[in-house]
A and B are shown apart, each in its own frame.
Chain A
């Protein structure tokens, strides 16, 4: 699972992103991307392209690892063998995605250790959505269905991007995420069609998660040269609003079909434009959470930090100081 990489709309550095690049190499690079070819680790690439990709893949990897925490709490509480086995496998997949993505990011020259350090010191971001608590079992069901669904919308688009190792990782991740979505949907269906207590649980969870889900795709994109360049380079594959709209189009009817409601009276599809209209979620809250003030930011990082500290002796024992770190190639 994952949320759109957060591009700070206030970022002004970007007018000059290609100013220092060799124009011939840049033209060749751009024409390869325009022709639908993939860029591989040994290929020439603009500095800004590399920087944005590392940031994006790294954020994605961190999101998988941190994302395992809210759901992981429910592994030991899952009701019955079927759910227990499925949830274990699901969260294990998420950790596996983290591993795969760290490897993809490593091809661009940043080691897993450096990325982990940036995560636990708060320098790198991860998807905002994991800074909210999963209060009940139904929250874990809603996460598995709808957050993973959002992630698939996002990642399917990104898998058509230009950087080979990231696209290949995403192809595999999407295949696994589609199982998660089935698991989550099945879980929500059982709750929504179950006893009054189960139904109330899932409705509450949905109410709680609606704003984080709307936030998931990121704030509306501002038109900027930065965004245009990243789109041309196939780093960013769609606008946040387009992705959000695609998600709403696919899932709101399914939610309503189950007799569940969503806490936004203005939510409806405008049949003329084909777009969904809704109450704009509170982006100030989004900013607050991304800057460390969400309900669980501190707790999530503290858990991750503790795991890193507790495991240090193991990694130290495995380290081979005589061997040099080599950047993986694909």
Chain B
């Protein structure tokens, strides 16, 4: 089918929020380098960070092909209100339990999202989604192993449970619908945030319960929406100021 302006707008919106999510979570994950609870986790979080930032770059490149600015300009010159990431990804890394729980919720959603996009009619997006699926498999595997093994000792389990409760409303915030849901579904671009949310709940709830955790009721929790529309927590702008500190010295220079 022929894309209308609305379809293109919807596609760009989808690409922006995915790319921004990946850039910001990648940035956060990289903050564990040198500070992890065991060296192997510094390394694991760094690997995931590299994948995420690399994936965001691939999506910004698709946006560039659609007429947006080049990836460096897009990523390193915008301010918080122009970012479409969910609030979940911008929160500080906190303690390790917080970062792990966020990683678990986020990566299961991403894995399903890429799965859904592996059949999108947008060819370049379909190609990268298929590629990302191969990478994210290991991220969810990593998250699952840690969620499971830290559920096996009392003190750790309590910390993890507290973080699950704390993170859950932000995790639901990932599925904030865009104003283009109907167009995306109609054109075969993406099956929509609602479908993704359902698949995600069907995945993470039984998994967490099998590890012995209690999962808050998604129907009664108020999701932390706003990120997709540029409304962010106080944590995003300082992150961006830091990220762009050197680039901003001379955005025209080659670094």
Q: Do A and B come from one complex?
A: yes
Chain A residues close to B by CB (< 8 Å): 65, 68-69, 72, 74-81, 83-85, 88-89, 91-92, 95-96, 98-99, 102, 137, 190, 194-195, 197-198, 303, 306-307, 310-318
With a cutoff of 8 Å between Cβ atoms, the chain A residues found around residue B254 in the complex are 190, 194
Contact call B35/A81, Cβ cutoff below 8 A: no
A-B contact pairs, 7 of them (CB 8 A): A83-B255, A88-B53, A91-B33, A190-B255, A194-B253, A310-B95, A318-B149
Contact call B43/A80, Cβ cutoff below 8 A: no
Contact call A69/B54, Cβ cutoff below 8 A: no
With a cutoff of 8 Å between Cβ atoms, the chain A residues found around residue B42 in the complex are 68, 92, 95
* Complex Cα spacing A65 to B71, Å: 32
Shortest distance between the CB of A278 and any CB in chain B (Å): 32
Within B60-86, the residues touching A (CB, 8 Å) are 71-72, 75-76
**Contact residue among A69, A198, A314 (Cβ-Cβ distance under 8 Å from B156):** A314
Shortest distance between the CB of A122 and any CB in chain B (Å): 18
Contact call A81/B75, Cβ cutoff below 8 A: yes
With a cutoff of 8 Å between Cβ atoms, the chain A residues found around residue B54 in the complex are 85
With a cutoff of 8 Å between Cβ atoms, the chain B residues found around residue A95 in the complex are 33-34, 39, 42-43, 46
Which residue of B41, B95, B249 has the most chain A CB atoms within 10 A of its CB atom? B249
With a cutoff of 8 Å between Cβ atoms, the chain A residues found around residue B53 in the complex are 81, 84-85, 88
Contact call B72/A80, Cβ cutoff below 8 A: yes
Q: Which B-chain residue is minimally distant from A96 (CB atoms)?
A: B43
Contact call A315/B37, Cβ cutoff below 8 A: yes
State whether A79 and B76 are in contact (beta carbons under 8 Å apart), knowing that A95-B43, A99-B40, A314-B150 are contacts in the complex: yes
- Interface 9-mer from B136-144, B229-237, B239-247: B239-247
Within B34-61, the residues touching A (CB, 8 Å) are 34-43, 46-47, 49-50, 53-54, 57
With a cutoff of 8 Å between Cβ atoms, the chain A residues found around residue B71 in the complex are 81
State whether A80 and B34 are in contact (beta carbons under 8 Å apart), knowing that A65-B39, A318-B149 are contacts in the complex: no
Q: Is B159 an interface residue (CB 8 A)?
A: yes
Contact call A81/B57, Cβ cutoff below 8 A: yes
Contact call A92/B33, Cβ cutoff below 8 A: yes
**Contact residue among A81, A195, A307 (Cβ-Cβ distance under 8 Å from B72):** A81
Q: Which B-chain residue is minimally distant from A112 (CB atoms)?
A: B39
Contact call A303/B152, Cβ cutoff below 8 A: no
* Complex Cα spacing A182 to B155, Å: 45
Shortest distance between the CB of A299 and any CB in chain B (Å): 13
**Contact residue among A75, A79, A316 (Cβ-Cβ distance under 8 Å from B247):** A79
Contact call A88/B255, Cβ cutoff below 8 A: no
Contact call A91/B255, Cβ cutoff below 8 A: no
Q: Is B96 an interface residue (CB 8 A)?
A: yes
Contact call B27/A195, Cβ cutoff below 8 A: no
Q: Which B-chain residue is minimally distant from A193 (CB atoms)?
A: B254
Contact call B39/A92, Cβ cutoff below 8 A: no
With a cutoff of 8 Å between Cβ atoms, the chain B residues found around residue A78 in the complex are 246
